[in-house]
């Protein structure tokens, strides 16, 4: 995979600008990107998204192979490094614990071990922040991190009217 997508990219797309009903081309394009190995996500993201009770959870349930395993030894070792780093910082305990309990550190770990780019809607904050943010942790571990719109530009997608 070249790009690994965070859960918020799917949720934001479904809830706002690429609603499944009026922009099916986006979702078809994602399927194509997954099929050719350009984009995907990790199993933990898939599990988070399946927990919903909406069109997105149904879409994810039908696409199990787009969510790759994140339990390999290299990813687990990198996850441990991320946990150790996060625990050593002066982050808000509640925010820190929430970050570590979710898929985000695993997504970053998998991206680092595979050389992939993380795609997220989170924004980088000042290094002095008390919040744990995906782009900040990506920077710390030399993982490239972009948003959905950079992802779309880099893959040179073109959506047209039918």
Give me the number of domains the chain comprises.
1
Answer for the pair 151, 92: CB distance below 8 angstroms, yes or no. Answer: no
Q: What CATH number does residue 45 fall under? A: 3.40.50.1010
CA–CA separation, 151 and 47 (whole Å):
23
Whole-number average pLDDT of the chain: 92
The verdict on residue 70 lying in a domain is: yes
Residue with tokens 């614990």: 97
The verdict on residue 161 lying in a domain is: no
The verdict on residue 159 lying in a domain is: no
Domain that holds residue 90: 3-154
The verdict on residue 124 lying in a domain is: yes
The reported pTM is: 0.93
The verdict on residue 105 lying in a domain is: yes
Question: What are the tens digits of pLDDT across the range 48-75?
Answer: 999 988 999 999 999 877 899 999 999 9
């Amino acid at each position: 995979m070249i790009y690994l997508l965070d859960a918020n990219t799917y949720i934001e797309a479904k809830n706002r600008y690429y609603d499944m009903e009026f922009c099916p081309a986006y979702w078809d394009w994602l399927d194509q990107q997954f099929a050719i190995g350009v984009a995907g996500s990790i199993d933990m993201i898939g599990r988070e998204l399946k927990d919903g009770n909406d069109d997105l959870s149904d879409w994810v349930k039908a696409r199990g192979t787009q969510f790759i395993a994140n339990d390999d030894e290299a990813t687990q070792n990198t996850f441990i490094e991320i946990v150790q780093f996060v625990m050593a910082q002066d982050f808000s305990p509640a925010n820190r614990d929430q970050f570590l309990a979710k898929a985000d550190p695993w997504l970053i770990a998998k991206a680092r071990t595979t050389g992939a780019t993380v795609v997220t809607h989170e924004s980088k904050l000042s290094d002095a922040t008390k919040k744990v943010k995906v782009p900040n942790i990506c920077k710390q571990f030399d993982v490239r991190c972009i948003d959905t719109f950079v992802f779309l530009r880099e893959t040179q997608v073109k959506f047209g009217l039918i």
